[in-house]
Amino acid sequence: MHIIWNQYPEIKEELLEIIKLMDENAKCKDKVIEQSIKDLIHANGKMIRPAFTVLAAHFGEYEPEKVRALASVVELFHMATLVHDDVIDDANLRRGVPTIQAKYGKEYAVYIGDYLFCICFKILASTASLQSIQVDSLSMSRICLGEVEQLNSRFNTEVSVKNYLKRIAGKTAELFSLSLYIGAAESGCSDKLTKSFWRIGHHIGMAFQIIDDILDYTGCEKSVGKDHAKDIQEGVFNLPLIYALEKQPKDLLALLEKHPYSDTDLKEIVQLVDTYGGIDRARRLAHQYTQKAYKHINKLPDNEYKMILLEVAHKLLDRAY
């Protein structure tokens, strides 16, 4: 269990129960698939999304078994998207450890991702209301479309800030929103409150992804858990680079046309993005989304879980980037 939860023993205990439930649902006749899923479950991820489901559910009538099942769904779905992402990106590292496709090959990784999706719908079918299943299905489609948009925009030097924000709203913020929404909705919270949680998840997710994208330019491999400038190498042009390109700098455009990029090219691209103010502008937008998230959290009904949500949001968004 990640150390972030050590100061919240009640939430940590719930997350441990969620991990047990995911372990139980990972059972499969194919032991490579089963072990691969269990490796993902115990990879020491932060478990932010299932924790959000638990926290939001405490604003209504808390039913432990139901909440744990729903929380396991959002985490398993997150895992499935990561497995498929790593196949598309040909990534060797995830959270600082070898990816499924690096260990077992792309074929197994695709099937493992597919099997995770199947587990999600199996749990949902026996747990959630029809309305929540419909919301989940719509969110899953938006997440997939966000990933497709990222794929289609690779190496596109004309991608706009608007298109970028639409992309990350689908591929990242949507699942943060869903995690909070489903916990509140399935615990009987009012429509007004569940919509507030959806907005909180959106703002946290947007800030989180922008910060993560900034780290592709400023972070080291040890702290980020992936190769430095990996997104640039893969042609995924994120917010800092998009902002820098708005000035139509000929030297940066000329470099971007040279892909595949050498280590020297990547270093120079990062330096130019910084020179043209892309990183600072991205930081300012991340800060705006962060402040919106705090504003909406502060409007929630007062209880201990509101404070935990606020503190966790601070840990996620007020980090070095």
Average pLDDT, the chain: 89
Q: Name the β-bridge partners of 94.
A: 97
195-222: b (≥16 Cβ within 10 Å) or e: ebbbbbbbbbbbbbbbbbbbbbbbbeee
* pTM, rounded to two decimals: 0.90
Residue 148 pLDDT > 90, yes or no?
Answer: no
Terminal CA-to-CA distance of the chain, rounded, Å?
Answer: 24
- For residue 34, what pLDDT is reported? 87
Q: Are residues 210 and 293 in contact, defined by beta-carbon separation less than 8 angstroms?
A: no
pLDDT tens digits, 195-234: 999 999 999 999 999 999 999 898 754 444 446 788 899 8
The distance of Cα 321 from the centroid of its chain, to the nearest Å, equals: 17
Of the listed ranges 20-24, 68-72, 95-99, 126-130, the least confidently predicted one is 126-130
What average pLDDT does range 245-272 have in this prediction?
92
Q: What is the mean pLDDT of residues 262-270?
A: 94
Query: What is residue 321's predicted lDDT score, i.e. its pLDDT?
Result: 54
CA distance 3 to 229: 27
User: Residue 319, Cβ neighbours under 10 Å: how many?
Assistant: 12
Length of the chain: 321
Q: Confidence class of residue 132 from pLDDT cuts 50, 70 and 90?
A: low
- Residue 95 main-chain phi, psi, to 5 deg: 55, 30
What pLDDT sits at residue 179?
95
Tokens representing 251 are 């030297």
- Domain CATH number, residue 164: 1.10.600.10
Number of structural domains in the chain: 1
| Residue-range definition of the domain harbouring residue 245 | 3-317
Query: CA angle at residue 70 from 137 to 200, to 5 degrees?
Result: 75
Place of tokens 């939430």: 11
Helix (H, G, I), strand (E, B) or coil at 5: helix
Percent of the chain with pLDDT over 70: 94
- pLDDT of 136: 67
